[in-house]
A and B are shown apart, each in its own frame.
Chain A
C-alpha cells in the first residue's frame, strides 16, 4: 500500500478515558467507536487537557491528584504512547508554583511532552513564562510550532494571546502566515494533527467557545487527506467531522463544565465527589497503517 493511500484513508482512532485523558490511534476514515480494552497496534499518542493546577474549589479540591491520576492512566495504557500532548490551561493562574507542580506531574508519564497554552497560562506576561518552561524544546516563538513523529505532522497552535473585546480565541495574522508556510509543499497524504487550546470550530460563540479566525487556518488544512484537530478549553467531549477534518475536544483533568447553554454560565459544574472522576478525562490516539477508520471512545475511568 502506498503512503498516499494510507494517508487518504488514514486517520485517527481514539480511546477516551474519563478521569485521565485520551489515547489516540491513527488509523483512518470516519469515527468508529472501539472497545476500551482494544490494544492500539500502531503509532499511539496521548492527550491531556485543562489540568488547572492551582484550582482548589468545588468540585475539585485536589487538581494535582486528578492530574496525576490521568498521567498514571497514560502510563498504564496497553500500548505505550509515543508522546503526550497537553492542550492548555496547564495552570490556573500562571503562577510559578503551579507550573512547577504541573511540570513534575507530567514528567511522571516518562514521555516526550508537547504543550500549547490556554488563557490561564498566559496571564500578565503574554505567556513568556509558559513558553520558556513548556516549549523551550520546540522554540515556538509565539507559542506555536510543528514537528513530525510517527509519520504524522503535528502542529501546535496558540489561540489565547491578544484576545479582543467581544471576541473568541484568536490566532492572528503572523501565526496564520507561519501556518501557511509550515504546510506549504507538504504531501497531502501526510496525516496532520493540529492541537490548540480553544476549539478551532464554533462550539458555542455565546460563551466564547470558538476561534474567530479559525476558518483561515482550516482553509489551509482542507487539501490534506486526514486532519485531526484536538482541543480542550470546554472541559467536555465534543466531536464533529467536516469532510476530511475531524474535530475533538478532550475532557479536563480538573473539573467538568456544562454543555453549551445548559447553565447560566460556563463555570465549573458542581458535581458530587463520587461522580467527579467519571467527568474528567484523558485521550489516547494511535495510527495503524493500512486501517481506514477514525474512532473515538469515551470510557470513564471512574464509575
Chain B
C-alpha cells in the first residue's frame, strides 16, 4: 500500500510537472498586408504569443501603454517576436513604424 501510494504520488507529481507545459499555450499573430491577424487574440494568462512578419516591409510590435509594456525589435520579413502574456487584461499594441496598424491581446 505504501509503495502504491508512493507510486501514485509520483504519478501525480509527474502529471503536475507536465500539465503546465502541455497547457502553456502558444498562439500566433501574423502580419500580412500591414495588418495584424487576428486583430484581437484571446489567450489564457501565461501564453506565449509569437508575432510573425510575413510582409515584405519591416514592422514592429509596440505596446500602446506609455511607457510600453512590451516592445519588439524591428522585424524584417519572416522575423518574429515572442512575448509571454502572464498578466490578465487587455493589451493593445501597434506597429512602431506604421502606427495605423493596431492589434489587441486579451489575457484571461
Question: A residues within 8 A CB of B102?
Answer: 165-166
Are A265 and B99 neighbours in the complex by a CB distance under 8 Å? Answer: no
Bound state CA distance, A208 and B34, in angstroms?
11
Are A92 and B92 neighbours in the complex by a CB distance under 8 Å? Answer: no
Size bin of chain A's contact surface: 20 to 34
Question: A residues within 8 A CB of B28?
Answer: none
Which segment, of A23-31, A118-126, A292-300, faces chain B? A118-126
B 58-71 to A, binary, CB cutoff 8 A, 1 in contact else 0: 10101010000000
Bound state CA distance, A168 and B94, in angstroms?
12
Are B100 and A265 neighbours in the complex by a CB distance under 8 Å? Answer: no
Known: A165-B64, A166-B102, A267-B33. A119 touches B56 (CB 8 A): no
Contact of A119 among B34, B55, B97 (CB under 8 A): B97
B77 touches A (CB below 8 Å): yes
B106 touches A (CB below 8 Å): no
Nearest CB on A from B68, distance (A): 10
Q: Chain A: which residue is nearest B101 at the CB level?
A: A208
Question: A residues within 8 A CB of B39?
Answer: none
Q: Chain A: which residue is nearest B98 at the CB level?
A: A208
Question: B residues within 8 A CB of A168?
Answer: 99-100
Are B97 and A265 neighbours in the complex by a CB distance under 8 Å? Answer: no
Nearest CB on A from B46, distance (A): 25
Size bin of chain B's contact surface: 20 to 34
Residues of B contacting A: mostly: loop
Known: A58-B56, A92-B58, A93-B76. A163 touches B33 (CB 8 A): no
Bound state CA distance, A267 and B97, in angstroms?
13
B49 touches A (CB below 8 Å): no
Question: B residues within 8 A CB of A119?
Answer: 96-98
Q: Chain B: which residue is nearest A264 at the CB level?
A: B33
Those of B53-96 within 8 Å (CB) of chain A: 55-58, 60, 62, 64, 73-74, 76-77, 92-94, 96
Question: B residues within 8 A CB of A164?
Answer: 94, 99
Are A267 and B100 neighbours in the complex by a CB distance under 8 Å? Answer: no
Those of A100-124 within 8 Å (CB) of chain B: 119-120, 123-124
A207 touches B (CB below 8 Å): yes
Contact of B73 among A58, A120, A124 (CB under 8 A): A124
Contact of A208 among B55, B58, B74, B99 (CB under 8 A): B99
Bound state CA distance, A166 and B101, in angstroms?
7
The number of inter-chain residue pairs (CB within 8 angstroms) is: 60
Nearest CB on A from B79, distance (A): 11
Are B96 and A163 neighbours in the complex by a CB distance under 8 Å? Answer: yes
A172 touches B (CB below 8 Å): no
Nearest CB on A from B40, distance (A): 14
Are A267 and B55 neighbours in the complex by a CB distance under 8 Å? Answer: yes
B35 touches A (CB below 8 Å): yes
Nearest CB on B from A91, distance (A): 11
Known: A92-B58, A267-B55. A207 touches B77 (CB 8 A): no
Q: Which residues of A contact B (CB under 8 A)?
A: 57-58, 92-94, 119-120, 123-124, 163-168, 205-208, 264-268
Q: Which residues of B contact A (CB under 8 A)?
A: 33-35, 55-58, 60, 62, 64, 73-74, 76-77, 92-94, 96-100, 102
Known A123-B58, A168-B99; further 13 A-B contacts with Cβ < 8 A: A57-B56, A93-B76, A119-B96, A163-B96, A164-B99, A165-B62, A165-B99, A166-B99, A208-B98, A208-B99, A267-B34, A267-B55, A267-B56
30 contacts between A and B (CB under 8 A): A57-B56, A57-B77, A92-B58, A93-B74, A94-B74, A120-B97, A123-B74, A123-B96, A123-B97, A124-B74, A165-B64, A165-B94, A165-B99, A166-B94, A166-B99, A166-B100, A166-B102, A167-B100, A168-B99, A168-B100, A205-B100, A206-B100, A207-B34, A208-B98, A264-B33, A265-B33, A265-B34, A267-B34, A267-B56, A267-B57
